[in-house]
Chains A and B, each alone.
Chain A
Amino acid sequence: MHALAYCIREAVGSLWRQRGSAALSVLTIAVAMLVLGAFLLVTSNLDRLMSRWSSAAEFSVYLHDDIGQDQRIALNLMLADSPLVASREYVSKADALARFTRDFPDLAAGADALDENPLPASIEVRLRSGVASADSIEALAARVSAAPGVADVRFDRTWLERLGAIVRGTRWIGWALGAVLILAAVLTVSTIVRLSLHVRRDEVGIMQLMGAPMGLLRGPLVAEGVLHGGAGAILALALLYVGYVAARARFDPVLADIVDPALVAFLPWEFAVALVVGGMVVGCAGGMVAARFVRWAR
Chain B
Amino acid sequence: MIEISHLSKMYGRGVYALRDLSIRVDKGEFVFLTGPSGAGKTTLLRILLCEETPTEGRVHIGGRDLARLSPGQVQAYRRTIGFVFQDFKLIQTKTVLQNVALLARAMGEVSIQQQRRTYQVLKWVGLQHRSNAFPMELSGGEQQRVAIARALVTEPSLVLADEPTGNLDPDLSLEIMNLFRDINASGTTVVVATHDRELIRRVDRRTMTLDHGRLAETS
What per-residue 1/0 map shows which CB atoms of B115-159 lie under 8 Å from chain A? 000000000000000000000000000000000001000000000
Interchain CA distance A1-B105 in the complex, whole Å? 11
Partner of B108, one of A1, A203, A210, A298: A1
B108 adjacent to A213 (CB under 8 Å): no
Q: Does B75 contact A (CB under 8 A)?
A: yes
Chain A residues 168 to 208 lying within 8 A of chain B, measured CB to CB, are 202-203, 205-208
A209 adjacent to B91 (CB under 8 Å): no
Interface residues on A, range: 20 to 34
Chain B residues 46 to 73 lying within 8 A of chain A, measured CB to CB, are 49-51, 53, 71-72
Chain B residues 88 to 113 lying within 8 A of chain A, measured CB to CB, are 89-93, 102-103, 105-108, 110
Nearest-CB distance from B145 to chain A (Å)? 17
Nearest-CB distance from B108 to chain A (Å)? 3
Give the most central of A1, A6, A208, A298: most B CB within 10 Å: A298
Partner of B89, one of A206, A213, A216: A206
A211 adjacent to B76 (CB under 8 Å): yes
**A210 and B74 in contact, given A1-B108, A297-B51, A298-B50 (Cβ under 8 angstroms):** no
**A212 and B50 in contact, given A2-B107, A202-B91 (Cβ under 8 angstroms):** no
A211 adjacent to B103 (CB under 8 Å): yes
A297 adjacent to B71 (CB under 8 Å): yes
* Of B11-19, B77-85, B163-171, B178-186, the one with at least 4 CB within 8 A of chain A: B77-85
Give the most central of A1, A202, A208, A211: most B CB within 10 Å: A211
Interchain CA distance A192-B78 in the complex, whole Å? 30
Residue in chain B with minimal CB distance to A14: B93
Residues of A within 8 A of B53 (CB): 298
Residues of B within 8 A of A210 (CB): 78-79, 83, 102-103, 150
**A6 and B105 in contact, given A206-B89, A209-B49 (Cβ under 8 angstroms):** yes
Chain A residues 1 to 15 lying within 8 A of chain B, measured CB to CB, are 1-3, 6, 13
**A2 and B75 in contact, given A206-B91, A209-B83 (Cβ under 8 angstroms):** no
Nearest-CB distance from B213 to chain A (Å)? 20
What per-residue 1/0 map shows which CB atoms of A71-110 lie under 8 Å from chain B? 0000000000000000000000000000000000000000
Nearest-CB distance from B121 to chain A (Å)? 14
Residues of B within 8 A of A13 (CB): 93
B106 adjacent to A216 (CB under 8 Å): yes
Partner of A3, one of B49, B107, B150: B107
Residue in chain B with minimal CB distance to A206: B89
Q: Does A214 contact B (CB under 8 A)?
A: yes
Contacts A209-B49, A210-B103, A297-B78 known; 6 new A-B pairs at CB < 8 A? A6-B105, A203-B93, A213-B107, A297-B51, A297-B71, A298-B51
The 8 closest A-B pairs by CB, nearest first: A211-B78, A2-B108, A211-B79, A296-B71, A6-B106, A203-B91, A211-B75, A206-B89
Seen from chain B, the residues whose Cβ lies within 8 Å of a Cβ on chain A are 49-51, 53, 71-72, 74-80, 83, 89-93, 102-103, 105-108, 110, 150
Seen from chain A, the residues whose Cβ lies within 8 Å of a Cβ on chain B are 1-3, 6, 13, 202-203, 205-214, 216, 296-298
A-B contact pairs, 22 of them (CB 8 A): A1-B108, A2-B106, A2-B107, A3-B106, A203-B93, A206-B91, A207-B103, A210-B83, A210-B102, A211-B75, A211-B76, A211-B78, A212-B75, A212-B106, A216-B103, A216-B107, A296-B71, A296-B74, A297-B50, A297-B51, A298-B50, A298-B51
